[in-house]
Amino acid sequence: VKNRRGEGSRLREDILRGAAELLDQTGQEQAVTLRAVARQIGIAAPSIYGHFPNRESILLATVQQAFAELTEQLQCAQTAAGTDPGARLRAVSAAYLDFARLRPQRYRAMFGGAWDTTGAVRAGAVSYAEAVALGQDALTVIVEAVRACVDAGDSASTDPVGDAVSLWVALHGLAHQRAVIPNFPWPEGIADRLVQRLAQLQWHAAAHEPVMAPGQGEPPTP
């Protein structure tokens, strides 16, 4: 069943959806072959060439779309969390981990598997600036959330950017390891521990009860 005239670009979306499904199902970049994508969405393999010049550009577009979705979900979670900066930062962090938890294989592919920066840059499919910019948008959300905590006096950080990068790196480490070793006995409240310590969140009278991991002691009274 063909798309109607002028609606040919709908197949492009189908191709990206098929590629994402393959990543989620198999967790392997190499499973996303031109022919496998074509099978997944029920078209002939050469039909793809109307929308993508080659296989690598499918992978790149899939990863770009995944990064855009990640950024969007971080922003939505932040907005939904209300106005308290600490709560917003925790919501962003939780959303980051949730994104990876719900699509572990795609997450794994986003960072290093499917999308080899050097390869794509070398092939000219993407500039180096674009390559770095991919993860940058999501990072920016975290940086701004930490900065808001500092501005509100909820964080003791004297280097919001550095601390936000530390937090991002730690969240990534947790998200990635969870994807790779799903059944590892992760300690209770490890995510909150990372947020609390790396963003240097402080007890604040106006804030919610800070989420503390068990055995972490009481927050200092104000």
Q: Which does 33 bind (CB under 5 to 8 A by kind): a second copy, DNA, none?
A: DNA
Query: Using the rule CB under 7 A, is 220 a contact of DNA?
Result: no
78 vs 200, which CB is nearer to a second copy? 200
Which tokens in the block code for residue 79?
């907005």
Nearest to 70 by CA among 140, 167, 126, 163: 140
Q: For 125, phi and psi rounded to 5 degrees?
A: -70, -20
Q: Which 3 state secondary structure label does DSSP give 27?
A: coil
**DSSP symbol at 218:** P
CB of 147 vs a second copy, minimal distance in Å: 14
CA neighbours closer than 13 Å in the CB half-sphere of residue 10 = 9
Interacting residues with DNA between 26 and 45 (CB under 7 A): 33-36, 43-45
CB of 107 vs a second copy, minimal distance in Å: 10
155 forms beta bridges with 201
CB of 14 vs a second copy, minimal distance in Å: 26
89-105 burial, b if ≥16 CB within 10 A, otherwise e?
A: bbbbbbbbbebbeebbb
Taking a C-beta distance cutoff of 8 angstroms, is the pair 93, 191 a contact?
Answer: yes
Residue 64 belongs to what H/E stretch? helix 55-80
> Can you tell me which of 57, 69, 213, 219 binds a second copy, judged by CB under 8 A?
213
Query: Using the rule CB under 7 A, is 46 a contact of DNA?
Result: yes
Q: What would the x/- binding string for DNA be over residues 144 to 163, using CB under 7 A?
A: --------------------
Q: Which does 47 bind (CB under 5 to 8 A by kind): DNA, a second copy, none?
A: DNA
Nearest to 109 by CA among 18, 12, 22, 16: 22
Interacting residues with a second copy between 155 and 184 (CB under 8 A): 158-159, 161-163, 165-166, 168-174, 176-177, 179-181, 183-184
Residues that bind a second copy (CB under 8 A): 27-30, 108, 111-113, 116-118, 128, 131-132, 135, 158-159, 161-163, 165-166, 168-174, 176-177, 179-181, 183-184, 186-190, 193-194, 197-198, 200, 213-217
Residues that bind DNA (CB under 7 A): 2-11, 33-36, 43-47, 49-50, 54-55
